A and B are shown apart, each in its own frame.
Chain A
Amino acid sequence: MAARRRSMGCFMASLSDADHSRTAAQAPRNERSPRPAPVICGHRPGLGPEWLGNSGPSAMLCAGAARYFERGCTLGSVGEATNRDSATSSGRRRGHRMIKRRELLLLLGSAMTAAPGLRAQQKAMPVIGYLASGSPGPFAPFAARVPPGSERNRLRRGTKRGDRIPLRRGSV
C-alpha cells in the first residue's frame, strides 16, 4: 500500500484512513490510473509570461493570463479533475474549483478591461489636416487615394493595419 501510495503521489496522500484500506479494485475507476491534466491549448506551464511579454496594454490581462498559463492551461479539464478528486473532502474540491473559476473570471475581466485601451491606442493615429486655398486639382491624385464617406471614416480610425494609406516616396 505504501508503494502504491508513493506511486499515486500527493493524490493518495489526501485520502482519509478509511480510503487507504481499499484495494485497487475497490477504488473508483477514475482513481486507478491518475493521468496528468490534459493540456488543451498547447501551452506548456511557464510559457505564459514569456509569451505575453512584460509590457502590454493591460497589466491585469498579463497577470491573469500568466497565472492561467502557469497552471498548464487546465481550464478544459475541470470536470475531469473533479471526478478524480471525488474522494477528497467536498470543501477542498469546491475550493479547487472556485480557484479555477476565479482565474477564468479574472482572465475574462482583464480582457474586457484591456479592450477599451486597445481601441484608444488605435484612435491615437495621427491625423494631418491639409488646407488648400485653391482647387484640389494639384492634390487630386493624392486625395483620390482616400476613399469617401464611411470608408474614409473607417480608414481614419485605422481599424486594421492594412487600412492605413501607404505613403511611398514620390506619391505626393
Chain B
Amino acid sequence: MATSEQQPHHKGADEPQVLAPGYSALKFPAPAARSYALPSLGAAADGVLLDSSGAPATLHGLYDDKTVVLSFIYTSCPDVNGCPLATFVLSQVQQRLSSNESLADKVRLVSVSFDPANDSPDVLANYGRSFRRHDVDWRFLTTESEESLVPILDDYDQAVIRDIGPDGESIGTMSHILRVFLIDQNKNIRNIYSPSFLHPDILLADILTVTTGELPTD
C-alpha cells in the first residue's frame, strides 16, 4: 500500500523519490500556535503494552495529564517516508522541547511498534537509545503478541498488511498508512498526521495549541 504522498508521482517515471517535507525546512509559514482550532476527533483508546524494560504499561497510563504524540512504527521499516520519518520528526520535536522545560514537562512522545514478533522490548530499547534525550519524555513500547496488538490498531484505525513473498511467507516488511496522533491532556485525539504535513514546526504549533496553561512559545 502506498500513498501518493509517500511515493510522489511526477514528470518522469525515473525521477528519484522525493523526501517528505518533514526532513527539511518548512516551505510555507508555520501556523501561529493557538490562532486556530483543533477540534477533538474523539477519545484516544486504551491498550496494554510492554515498555522497553519489558514491564507492563497502558496507553492511558502514558496519556495521564500529558499532551502526547503517538506514532506507530516498526524498527525495520524500509520506507524513508514511513516510520523513519515519524521517528525523525519526533526527534526534532524532542530537540525543541529540550530547550523549553515548562512545555517539555507537559508533553510525552510515545512510539509503539506494530511488529511485536521482531520488536521485543530489548530491540526497542536499543532503537530508542539512538534517538532519546534525557531531558524529554520519549517512550518506546511494544506488545506481548500480535493478539494484544490487534485491538490497539483497530481502535486507532491503523491498517497494517504484512507483505507476502511469492512463496506465501512474510518478507518482513509491512504496508501501512503512516499515521501519527496528537492526543491532548484529556485523552482526546486532536490531530492525525500523514507524511505530507508531519513536520516539527507544525507539530510544535499544534502541541502548543492543545496544551493548556501559560506556555512559552520558544
Whether A and B are associated in the same complex: the answer reads no
Question: Which B residues fall within an 8 A CB radius of A?
Answer: none
Question: Which A residues fall within an 8 A CB radius of B?
Answer: none
